[in-house]
Structure 1
Amino acid sequence: MKGKTPPSLEDPMSAEIATGITDEPLDTGALIDSARRDTCGAVASFIGVVRNHDGGESVDAIEYSSHPSSQQILRDIVMEFKDRPGVHRIVAWHRVGYLEIGEDAMVVVVAAEHRAQAFRAVEAIVEDVKAKLPIWKKQELTDGSHNWSGL
């Protein structure tokens, strides 16, 4: 993956984290594999994929743009979860730029001691990213028009 991954935290009582915003295709398999830990019995993930429709309209592609602070905000969001009991590793990456139907736009992975811990953390992180991360989506519609969301 061409994006830079910030160094992991060294505090053994906190989860290691890796976050990134990139205009390169996400290597989803590598991101999931990077979360695995021998101390964890569960790895849960969310993969946001560009779909071909939204709100009853046909979509051809999406272009994501981001605020310059997006990388730090994504890291801050993930940092809020690093001290959750049982969570050992959190990986969260988001694409920007032009994405075609079927491409992965966001990947969030949590490795935890137990599945419930991993599932809860993934869901909460995804919801926070959707609510707080300043990334905007321009959808190119099949009829030639476009619309924006996240503004």
Structure 2
Amino acid sequence: MSDVIRLADVRETPLSVDEVFAAVGDPAAGGTAVFVGTVRDSDHARAVRRLSYSAHPSVGAELRTVMEKVAADFPVTALAAVHRVGDLEIGDLAVVVAAACPHRGEAFDACRRLIDDLKAQVPIWKHQLFADGGDEWVGAC
């Protein structure tokens, strides 16, 4: 199953939707779903100035584990996921994931599961800095 995991990375450099989309290109895929998470300017009615992501040293292994479970549960031909760490500004790409499958419904379902499980299980934390001077740590992103 690991041959369907085409890209799994956590990096400090800007992310590319084109890179992720190209990574899951496969002639057996009739559908490809891509999710792009961006830094937004507010959270829970508070203006966000910027944020920072940090990751546990096990982040790479945990990301791969999540992706292997998605590959086991869906008929994916290819998966890709990249997450950014470090300081990000409003509008920056924070995460890009993609799933390619024989059919569109499977691709949508696999992509949603990939981003949901990544956010719930991969040890990446978000530190939000608000315009009012406050800040907040968010458990897993």
User: TM (normalized to structure 2)?
Assistant: 0.93
Q: Is the 8 A contact 2:127 2:137 kept in 1?
A: yes
Question: Moved runs in structure 1, 4+ residues, more than 2 A?
Answer: 83-86
**Match of residue 101 from structure 2:** 112
Taking the TM superposition and a 5 Å limit, the aligned residue runs for 1:47-126 are 47-126=36-115
- Say which SS state the counterpart of residue 32 (structure 2) adopts: strand
Are 1:139 and 2:136 counterparts?
no
Q: Is the 8 A contact 1:17 1:82 kept in 2?
A: no
- Say which SS state the counterpart of residue 71 (structure 2) adopts: coil
Q: Which has the higher helix share?
A: 2
Quote the Cα distance in structure 2 between the aligned partners of 1:79 and 1:18: 12
Q: What are structure 2's unaligned runs of at least 5 residues?
A: none
Deviation at 1:84, TM superposition (A): 4.0
Deviation at 1:62, TM superposition (A): 0.8
> How many residues are matched?
140
Q: Is the 8 A contact 2:2 2:68 kept in 1?
A: no
Q: Is the 8 A contact 2:7 2:20 kept in 1?
A: no
Identity of aligned residues (%): 34
Q: What are structure 1's unaligned runs of at least 5 residues?
A: 1-7
Across the aligned residues of Structure 1 and Structure 2, the Cα RMSD in angstroms comes to: 1.5
- Say which SS state the counterpart of residue 80 (structure 2) adopts: strand
- Say which SS state the counterpart of residue 122 (structure 1) adopts: helix
Are 1:150 and 2:121 counterparts?
no
The structure, 1 or 2, with the larger RCO (C-alpha pairs under 8 Å, 6+ apart) is 2
- Say which SS state the counterpart of residue 25 (structure 1) adopts: coil
Deviation at 1:51, TM superposition (A): 0.2
Quote the Cα distance in structure 1 between the aligned partners of 2:36 and 2:115: 10
Are 1:31 and 2:30 counterparts?
no
